[in-house]
């Protein structure tokens, strides 16, 4: 969706980390550093990691407590779930730009993302529900209906 520069932060990211992902939690806010991407949107972070993290990673066992839903921007999550940079920047599947159709995606699927986060207790449960209800075939079918593909 956007380019990020790796910057040194004053945040220690001591809530959870491995060699690819660092997570910090302050009150009801989560912060993620995934390679060169930094976000405080837990839905976006999970959508990014669904493509790269193996299903047995300890990341999927992180317990979600007091998630601040005001930090959730469904269009960020939907960008990654619908293919991310690989599809929106480098592929010929979509015939429109993300900016031209993100509101349609958000209108159709945004509340489902919030509902999934409300009912999930771990990052793995969010991943599983995203895979079940917001999988690539579902999002591509929506794109076909709307004429985005």
Q: 92 in a domain, yes or no?
A: yes
Q: 95 in a domain, yes or no?
A: yes
Label residue 33 exposed, middle or buried (CB < 10 Å: 0-12, 13-18, 19+). Answer: buried
The H or E element containing residue 77 is helix 74-81
Domain count, the chain: 1
Q: 62 in a domain, yes or no?
A: yes
- pLDDT tens per residue, range 41-84: 999 999 999 988 777 789 999 999 888 899 899 999 999 999 99
Q: 84 in a domain, yes or no?
A: yes
Q: What would the mean pLDDT of 25-44 be, rounded to a whole number?
A: 91
Q: 120 in a domain, yes or no?
A: yes
Tell me what pLDDT residue 27 has.
85
User: What range does the domain containing 21 cover?
Assistant: 16-146
pLDDT at 145 over 90: yes
- pLDDT tens per residue, range 72-123: 999 999 999 999 999 999 888 899 999 999 999 999 999 999 999 999 999 9
pLDDT at 38 over 60: yes
Q: 99 in a domain, yes or no?
A: yes
Q: For residues 15 and 61, what is the distance between their CA atoms, to the nearest angstrom?
A: 13
Q: 26 in a domain, yes or no?
A: yes
């Amino acid at each position: 969706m956007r380019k990020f520069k790796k910057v040194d932060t004053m945040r220690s990211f001591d809530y959870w980390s491995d060699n690819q992902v660092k997570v910090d939690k302050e009150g009801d806010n989560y912060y993620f550093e995934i390679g060169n991407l930094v976000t405080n949107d837990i839905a976006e972070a999970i959508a990014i990691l669904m493509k790269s993290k193996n299903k047995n990673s300890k990341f999927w066992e992180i317990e979600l407590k007091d998630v601040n839903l005001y930090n959730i921007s469904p269009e960020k999550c939907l960008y990654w779930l619908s293919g991310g940079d690989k599809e929106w920047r480098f592929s010929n599947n979509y015939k429109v730009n993300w900016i031209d159709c993100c509101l349609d995606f958000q209108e159709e699927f945004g509340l489902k993302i919030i509902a999934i986060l409300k009912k999930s207790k771990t990052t793995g449960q969010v991943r599983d529900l995203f895979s079940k209800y917001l999988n690539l075939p579902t999002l591509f079918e929506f794109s076909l209906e709307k004429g985005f593909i």
